[in-house]
Structure 1
Amino acid sequence: MAEEPGPTWVPTPALRRAVLLTGLFLVAGALLGRVDLVVLATPFALGTAFALRRRPSLAPELAIGVDDTNLVEGTPLVGAISVGNRDEVGYDLVMIRTVVSKWLRIDRVTFTAEDVEPDTATADAPARGGSSPEPEQPARRSATDRPYGFTVPAGTISDLELRGETLRWGRHSVGPAAVRAAACDGLLVSQTVLSDARMVPVYPVTEPFDADQAMPRAAGLVGGHRSRRPGEGGELAGVRIFGPGDRLRRIDWRVSLRARQLHVAAMLSDRDAEVVLLLDVLAEAGRSGGIRGSASVLDTCVRAAAAIAEHYLHRGDRVSLLEYGPSARRLRPATGRRQYLTLLEWLLDVRVEQSPHEPYDQVFGPQLLSSNALVVVFTPLVDGRSAKMLARLARSGRFVVAVDTLPPAATPPARGQWTDVAHRLWRLDRDNTIGQLREHGVPVVTWAGAGSLDLVLRDVARLASAPRPALR
């Protein structure tokens, strides 16, 4: 059988003391025949009876609301914790406390109240804004580190408004929250009411990025990149003799008059490209300080991927995402604003996943990676499997660009007198690995915002357009 729920309101120690003192005085007065003891018991009895003349029957209702529309790192955050009283008896005191993620800094807390009908449920009440005449408190680490107390009259909703700032990308929680209410002059207290946490998506700030160089291979149907295929584009490929199907507006009259034969201008078609953004999640390094602090490996990966994806999606290219890790998450290639919004949601769930196994075959399955795609790999090159993955991609004939995401100031914690020496040796070995990758045709560049990949893309496009020796 299911257990029956306990009572909503329970007596407080103050009620127990009042009943105990009243009983003791009455029993002692009856046994000893002293009227003064009965007179002393009268105020306790009358006060308790008057306070309990109207007792609440409904528990307080609790809801968390957050204005989570298009929140980006460093933007203001507005939320509220609503406490509703549908009972006919007001709450003398409501104590509420909540937990907020460390990446959501709450600087100010204010109170607002609003009348509601007794039958109106508040469990799904949205967050309400409002100003308070109280002076603004100075900024601190978090204004939710302590509980807050206020009154909630009958048939009203009181909001604990939270105002602060988002500090880092990801899915952060506001809550869970807990509330207890006291009524009947503090003689009755409600059971603790809990609410689930509200997850707030905070999108990464898009760093400026612009790549002016051509793509290595643009093999789609339409787009803004120059392709090696002839077609109706804006790039001149040469002049040839007029043939059936050629348009009259393409006739080059200067060449035709000199050669005494009609010639037309041949154009290169404009094609779209496929860009694959590969995030190495095998290792994390550095310490994240939020939007105004230092950046870790994941911070650089996510912000740079968002910037590059926004740039190429704005140009009409297809962009896909892959994770190099045991989960092998992937986002199919697509174009447009819808793909950009889906990509931002996908980036919020990027996490470091360590695994002793090699995830290459799991990530790059058969026919999952186009041979014409430009693969941009965001990797700290901390794990040896990352360098092997880059080498295998280059040997397979794909165009690979590696973006070094290791913070320059990332150092291991000191564990002895040889820590600094070991770290310098590891740095030398890592630089040697980067040099070997470059010798094998894998350019490695450090992310530096706008124009980071221009020089690298120019070299890759030049290699792609160069003639290849034929095998005999």
Structure 2
Amino acid sequence: MAGPTVPRATEPEPAAGWAPTRALGRAVLLAGLLLVAGVLLGRVDLIVLAAPFALGTAYALRRRPTALPQVWITSGDDGPLVEGGEVTAAVSVGNPDVVDYDLVVLRSRVSPWLRVDRAGFAQDESVDDGPTVTATPTATPTPTVTATPTATATPASGTGRSIADRPFVTSVPTGAAVDLELAGRALRWGRHPVGPAGARVATAGGLLVSRAVISEPVRVRVYPRTEPFEAVEAMPRAAGLVGAHHSRRPGEGGELAGVRIFGPGDRLRRIDWRVSLRARQLHVAATLSDRDAEVVVLLDVLAEAGRSGGVSGAASVLDTTVRATAAIAEHYLHRGDRVSLLEYGPAARRLRPAAGRRQYLTVLEWLLDVRVQSSSHEPYDQVFGPQLLSSDALVVVLTPLLDERSAQMLARLARAGRFVVAVDTLPTELAPPRDQTWAEVAYRLWRLDREVMIGQLREHGVPVVRWAGAGSLDQVLRDVARLATAPRVGGR
């Protein structure tokens, strides 16, 4: 992997940032003691013995470094990276100096959600027609180091250690750069940092060492894995102009609504000749207009529960919420509907409704910044504004129902006449702590209270269903569509 061009230094400057090592101090001290002792004692052999130390130190310091090393991090992901996919990055160190770097110690931090299991130095890219060098770590004589940890290094389990945690050692000639390539697997969605990376360099035969040069981290975007989701039921109410859903309004569409007498403005291709000949009067086939729908996915970010184990482990509330949102958005955007996102929390972040492939990529990018934010106030005014929720929109609320304010929000949406579907994102394997005496009893009481709250929501007309991937919302959407088309009885 080629890094940026490292310019070759031409004019010597003061060696700022470089310090003598203990080896230089010992060499100067030993040569000085031998010379002083030889002069005072009149012994030529001591002077001859001190000559190699003095000449060797002077020869090593004949060309002093004039610049510090350059360190940078590059991400090798060209396309979108999804949970469970292969992630690659490179930590590069360049030598812009006029002397070779005899020893370079390179180390980089990597997010625990990026499990690096392969790391090694690639072949150098020479700069300004400089030499090409193959650098290897001190642990092995081969250019590439391949290691497999004994356990899966996930933050949830705490087992194993990333191979990127250890330091790597190489040498860099003047005007060249060396790349430490990191390869592994992305365990969880989000923006995960690679770095900061630091390097220290020893030159002049190990007599001079540089200060640590630290580079800024690079964040790798990992999109959530889309769980399979299909909803075959019709939308409660279609509101757009064109789309895949059949509305109750007559217009140009593919759903037959009946046959009526020809009128002004009717198209000739709509004439039903069989009925017209039988009735001896022109009749046309009436159709229902095809309309798109607006889907609002409301994310409850007031509370978090469970422990995330990554793409192959247990899912927390936030994991289920983000992955389910990506699946729902992908399904409805693929059908031509408009999808918008809204957070129920203190920030009340919002993504405007839109349709198409670009909106799906925007949804994935928006989900990377979803965070749990506890708040003491009730964010009602930020959510229930008429400019945020359309009266014809289907509102899918992803909530763990851990906060009483979430239940009150659902009840308020139902009383306002919205088409609301609540998706329970609480993990099923959630267990109480076992180090307390009354923990299990309190956990059972909390479960009973939560079931009572879900029952009250259903009495208010809010269907509550647990997220289970494909077909999770079919039955609920069928009931909501039936309620939307049912005649309403008005009281006097």
| Residue 43 in structure 1 maps to residue 52 in structure 2 | yes
| Residue 313 in structure 1 maps to residue 340 in structure 2 | no
What secondary structure is seen at the aligned counterpart in 2 of 1:79? Answer: strand
Q: Displacement of 1:336 after TM fit? A: 1.1
Residue-by-residue CA offset, 1:281-331 (whole Å, 9 max, x unaligned): 000011100000000001010001001101111111111000000011001
Cα distance in 2, alignment partners of residues 137 and 369 from structure 1:
52
What secondary structure is seen at the aligned counterpart in 2 of 1:360? Answer: coil
On the 8 A contact 1:86/1:118 being kept in 2, the answer is no
What secondary structure is seen at the aligned counterpart in 1 of 2:163? Answer: coil
Structure-2 residue corresponding to 1:137:
147
What secondary structure is seen at the aligned counterpart in 1 of 2:382? Answer: helix
Matches within 5 A, 1:112-123: 112-117=122-127
Cα distance in 2, alignment partners of residues 365 and 67 from structure 1:
43
What secondary structure is seen at the aligned counterpart in 2 of 1:154? Answer: coil
Structure-2 residue corresponding to 1:428:
448
Structure-1 residue corresponding to 2:362:
342
Letter in structure 2 aligned against 1:218: A
Deviates more, 1:238-247 or 1:445-454: 238-247
Structure-1 residue corresponding to 2:469:
449
Structure-1 residue corresponding to 2:65:
56
On the 8 A contact 1:313/1:337 being kept in 2, the answer is yes
Q: Which runs of 4+ in 1 moved over 4 A?
A: 132-135
2:246 to 203, 222, 226: 226
What secondary structure is seen at the aligned counterpart in 2 of 1:428? Answer: helix
Identical counterparts, % of pairs: 72
| Residue 384 in structure 1 maps to residue 394 in structure 2 | no
Letter in structure 1 aligned against 2:62: R
Cα distance in 2, alignment partners of residues 245 and 470 from structure 1:
36
Unpaired runs of at least 5, structure 2: 1-13, 131-141, 151-160
On the 8 A contact 1:64/1:80 being kept in 2, the answer is yes
Matches within 5 A, 1:273-284: 273-284=293-304
Cα distance in 2, alignment partners of residues 222 and 119 from structure 1:
61
| Residue 100 in structure 1 maps to residue 86 in structure 2 | no
Cα distance in 2, alignment partners of residues 427 and 258 from structure 1:
67
Q: Displacement of 1:202 after TM fit? A: 0.3
Residue-by-residue CA offset, 1:225-268 (whole Å, 9 max, x unaligned): 11111101111122222211112222233433443333222111
Q: Displacement of 1:381 after TM fit? A: 0.3
Cα distance in 2, alignment partners of residues 6 and 362 from structure 1:
58
Cα distance in 2, alignment partners of residues 166 and 25 from structure 1:
60
Cα distance in 1, alignment partners of residues 433 and 382 from structure 2:
33
Deviates more, 1:154-163 or 1:320-329: 154-163
Matches within 5 A, 1:360-371: 360-371=380-391
Letter in structure 1 aligned against 2:230: D
On the 8 A contact 2:188/2:224 being kept in 1, the answer is yes
Cα distance in 2, alignment partners of residues 33 and 43 from structure 1:
19
On the 8 A contact 1:86/1:117 being kept in 2, the answer is no
Letter in structure 1 aligned against 2:260: R
Cα distance in 1, alignment partners of residues 384 and 53 from structure 2:
79
Residue-by-residue CA offset, 1:41-92 (whole Å, 9 max, x unaligned): 1111011112112222111110101123311100001111011112231111
What secondary structure is seen at the aligned counterpart in 2 of 1:363? Answer: coil
Q: Displacement of 1:415 after TM fit? A: 4.5
1:86 to 91, 96, 109: 96
What secondary structure is seen at the aligned counterpart in 1 of 2:123? Answer: strand
Structure-1 residue corresponding to 2:158:
none
Cα distance in 2, alignment partners of residues 74 and 93 from structure 1:
36
What secondary structure is seen at the aligned counterpart in 2 of 1:80? Answer: strand
Aligned-pair Cα RMSD in Å = 1.7
| Residue 23 in structure 1 maps to residue 43 in structure 2 | no
Cα distance in 1, alignment partners of residues 305 and 129 from structure 2:
54
Cα distance in 2, alignment partners of residues 243 and 153 from structure 1:
87
Matches within 5 A, 1:252-267: 252-267=272-287
Q: Displacement of 1:207 after TM fit? A: 0.9
Deviates more, 1:189-198 or 1:39-48: 39-48
Deviates more, 1:111-120 or 1:273-282: 111-120
Unpaired runs of at least 5, structure 1: 121-131
Q: Displacement of 1:133 after TM fit? A: 5.4
On the 8 A contact 2:237/2:393 being kept in 1, the answer is yes
Deviates more, 1:396-405 or 1:244-253: 244-253
Structure-2 residue corresponding to 1:297:
317
Structure-1 residue corresponding to 2:136:
none
Q: Displacement of 1:113 after TM fit? A: 3.1
Deviates more, 1:249-258 or 1:276-285: 249-258
